[in-house]
Copies of this chain bind each other. A is one copy, B any other.
Amino acid sequence: MVTLKDIAEEAHVSLMTVSNVVNGKHNKVSKEKLKEIQDLLQKRNYVQNASARSLAKANSNIVAIILRSIGQENSLSSPHNAHLVGSIVRYIQELGYYAMINLVEDCTSIAKSIRSWNVQAAIFLGMFDDEIEQIYALSNIPMVFIDSYSAIRQLSNVGIDDYKGGQLAAEYLIKNGHKHVAFVSPPNYDNGVVQHRLKGFKDVLAQHGLSLNSEHCFSVISDADPEQINQAVDQLMLIKNEITAVFVTSDGLAASLISGLHRYGLRIPADLSVIGFDNMTISKQIYPPLTTIAQDLELKARLAVEILNGRLNNLNSSAESRILDVCLIERESVINISDQ
């Protein structure tokens, strides 16, 4: 391994001069030496030892991406998370930071990796309110949360307008004549995204004098487990004569349910209208293509990293949150039944 010392000896200068060249402090080095040292660095294929730099500066250039993972569940098997993480990693790299990825089951383990590596900043996916407080107590590096709802005011969060998403879904179904609807979602945690989508959905129903029967409202833990899908499909079949549409708050889950309903001969949207959420690739990969509430994952990733970078460049800056808009993408899984 080539070190600053090696280069310094070879160039007959001090180690500090080489360090200044490496770190771009070119005004501190004479033109001739600069060129000579740069050539040497190149020729000898010098690579800075990040651990040594990190130790000396107490600063690592590592940004951690921390994903909540529950048991054996693969956090990246959800296209939403996968897409987000992929983009976040790219933006982190573009800024010259390194991306460390961390799956955590409980918050205590977060401290270990953050503090151990002197992680400079962190992005969190899927954290809940009470956990955020714990995390805040662990470290005060810049942190950005994604899709978290929290009572903490000094919180940088990038999320979407889940409530509006629910509203849009309800408005669209009502506009298309649907009065008896169901709601199916991933697990509905307290103060999580599902809860806000549901609230927006219910509020608009109420404004139109409609309501959501509690038996028409249920959740599915995993959209990849056939057994759970079958069970949810059976539940829908039981109530199919009481409803004309269903709002499913994840495109993947919507697709799984539609496929299951197909098996029972149910035609979508003729027999049942379906509206999804996220506008992931799958909404265009099924037939009929799925009408859904769209969010911009790419922007979500970019803003999260931008906010983080802003805070890294000015550690005194205050928390900054962004709530992205959502919109309805009209495709073919909802039918207008007004005329009937």
A270 sits at the interface (CB 8 A) = no
Q: Looking at the complex, which of A113-121, A140-148, A160-168, A317-325 is the stretch in contact with chain B? A: A113-121
Determine the residue in chain B with the shortest Cβ distance to A268: B287
A195 sits at the interface (CB 8 A) = no
User: How far is B34's CA from A258's CA once the two chains are assembled, in angstroms?
Assistant: 61
Among A1, A49, A75, the most chain B Cβ lie within 10 Å of the Cβ of: A49
A329 sits at the interface (CB 8 A) = no
Q: CB within 8 A of A54: which of B51, B79, B89, B224?
A: B51
B77 with A281: CB separation less than 8 A: yes
B-chain residues with CB within 8 Å of residue A45 when the two chains form the complex: 111
B99 with A100: CB separation less than 8 A: yes
A256 sits at the interface (CB 8 A) = yes
A240 sits at the interface (CB 8 A) = no
B-chain residues with CB within 8 Å of residue A86 when the two chains form the complex: 74-77, 82, 103
A235 sits at the interface (CB 8 A) = no
Q: CB within 8 A of A82: which of B79, B100, B256, B286?
A: B79
Determine the residue in chain B with the shortest Cβ distance to A59: B51
A116 with B77: CB separation less than 8 A: no
How does the 8 Å CB contact mask read for A88-118 relative to B, with 1 for contact and 0 for none?
A: 0110010000111111000000011101111
A292 sits at the interface (CB 8 A) = no
A101 with B102: CB separation less than 8 A: no
Residue count of chain A within 8 Å CB distance of chain B = 58
A252 sits at the interface (CB 8 A) = yes
User: How far is B46's CA from A111's CA once the two chains are assembled, in angstroms?
Assistant: 11
How does the 8 Å CB contact mask read for A28-65 relative to B, with 1 for contact and 0 for none?
A: 00000000000000000101111110110000100001
B-chain residues with CB within 8 Å of residue A69 when the two chains form the complex: 90
Given contacts A49-B55, A77-B86, A259-B284, 17 further A-B contacts (CB under 8 A): A45-B111, A47-B112, A47-B115, A50-B116, A74-B86, A74-B87, A75-B86, A76-B83, A76-B86, A77-B82, A82-B86, A86-B103, A100-B100, A255-B286, A256-B281, A263-B287, A286-B287
22 A–B contacts, CB within 8 A, in A order = A51-B51, A51-B52, A65-B101, A69-B90, A74-B86, A74-B87, A76-B86, A77-B79, A77-B82, A79-B79, A82-B82, A98-B102, A99-B100, A223-B281, A256-B284, A258-B287, A259-B284, A262-B287, A262-B288, A282-B282, A282-B285, A286-B287
